[in-house]
């Protein structure tokens, strides 16, 4: 006998394949109960467009975690379906992909390049569902244009000194004190944060 | 003798003329130390455009609080300049201004109208500076277009049941679980939250 929830659907176990605290907060915002199991596989950048690149990276993460999932049969002999969510974000300026800075000077160079103009943030998401004998998945990407006010060198150094640059693509986090430098965005705000929750919700509705 | 800060400027006391926890968080994000003294004056809606309306409302709040500020002379006989920040936000859909809902049915009607389409959020801000013998101020407004995914009645009722509708113009808070229904925004995200911090920062730079 299958275990069903109130809506009569089979129970699903949700796993977030990311260690990012921002993605964890956003997924929690959706009211979902989930576990965290970050992908450990080395990422291989493939794809000819930014959208393809983040879609492929999100797929690699979801696939790695799905493959490593333990099969835990419960007391009723039933294994809940597992839904794994992989996600990846890049910043693109003048067609060049920006990753995370490794030094404060790299962070300075990135922010100096991003200030006073627009760039694009791409986030790819893969939702992978493992049932008893099948694996199905959806992959999509969203982008948002972010326009940053002009920043002088003192403002850039002041921001970096706050310690919010080092673990973020493009060397900034839009949800923190960098907000004072963001002129406008066009797209879903949460795409910039690393998880386009509205688009994800539309996909998850089909699985849950 | 005037008390000067590290940059050689006269010390300023900053007051937020709003009880909104979201505005408080956003102002704190800017790294400023401030006090909260909400306006108690009954608001009078004036102006022929949404931008004018929120500018006028923010001015009324800043003016009311500035007038009620105690003059506290310190030990050094010096009165710090006071900077009062007033702000007001409205939601406009089909040219009609939406305020805060008073009942769950009003909240339902608002969200039913906003779902599946775009609307505009306007936030007006007044920065009023009281020095020894002069009052100067800046008033501006920002707008952002918010596009909401289609929501069925169950989704609307489910959102209202979370209790996030009742104290917010348009019956939603973009920073909470409503995020899953937000397709995209065009403009500054924090304008929708009630305080356009980037634009405010540009104005405050002239006063601080």
Size of interface A-B (CB pairs under 8 A): 74
pLDDT at residue number A9? 57
Q: Is residue A105 over pLDDT 90?
A: yes
Beta pairing class for A81-93 and A96-98: antiparallel
> Where does the pLDDT of residue B175 fall: very low under 50, low under 70, confident under 90, or very high at 90 and above?
confident
More confident residue, B45 or A196: A196
The three-class DSSP label of residue A29 is helix
Sign of the CA dihedral with B26 first, then A192, A165, and A88 last: positive
Catalytic residue among B76, B81, B88, B152: B88
Element (H, E) at A160: helix A153-161
pLDDT at residue number A3? 45
Q: Across the interface, do B184 and A187 touch by the CB < 8 Å criterion?
A: yes
Q: Is residue B62 over pLDDT 60?
A: yes
* Whole-prediction pTM: 0.85
Catalytic: B153?
A: no
Residues sharing a CB contact under 8 Å with residue B103, sequence separation 6 or more, in sequence order: none
Q: State the virtual CA torsion across A157, A191, A188, B150 in degrees, nearest 10.
A: -160
CA distance B187 to chain A (A): 5
> The complex's ipTM?
0.79
Chain B hits for A140, Cβ within 8 Å = none
Max Cα separation, chain B?
65
Summarised one tens digit per residue, pLDDT across range B9-59 is 567 889 999 999 999 999 998 888 999 999 988 888 899 899 999 999 999
* Percent of chain A at pLDDT exceeding 70: 91
For chain B, the helix, strand and coil percentages under 3-state DSSP, each to the nearest 5 = 35, 30, 40
> Where does the pLDDT of residue B3 fall: very low under 50, low under 70, confident under 90, or very high at 90 and above?
very low
């Amino acid at each position: 006998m299958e275990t069903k929830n109130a809506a009569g659907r089979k129970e699903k176990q949700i796993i977030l394949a990311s260690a990012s605290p921002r993605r964890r907060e956003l997924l929690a915002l959706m009211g979902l109960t989930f576990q965290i199991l970050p992908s450990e596989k080395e990422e291989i950048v493939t794809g000819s467009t930014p959208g393809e690149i983040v879609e492929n990276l999100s797929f690699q993460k979801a696939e790695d975690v799905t493959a490593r999932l333990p099969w835990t049969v419960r007391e009723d002999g039933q294994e809940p379906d597992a839904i794994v969510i992989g996600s990846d974000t890049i910043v693109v300026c003048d067609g060049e992909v920006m990753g995370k800075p490794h030094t404060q000077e790299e962070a300075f160079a990135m922010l100096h390049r991003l200030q006073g103009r627009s760039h694009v943030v791409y986030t790819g998401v893969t939702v992978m569902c493992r049932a008893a004998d099948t694996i199905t998945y959806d992959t999509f990407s969203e982008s948002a244009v972010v326009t940053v006010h002009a920043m002088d060198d003192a403002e850039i150094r002041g921001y970096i000194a706050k310690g919010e640059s080092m673990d973020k693509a493009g060397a900034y986090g839009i949800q923190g004190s960098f907000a004072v430098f963001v002129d406008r965005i066009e797209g879903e705000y949460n795409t910039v944060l690393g998880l386009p929750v509205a688009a994800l919700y539309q996909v998850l509705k089909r699985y849950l």
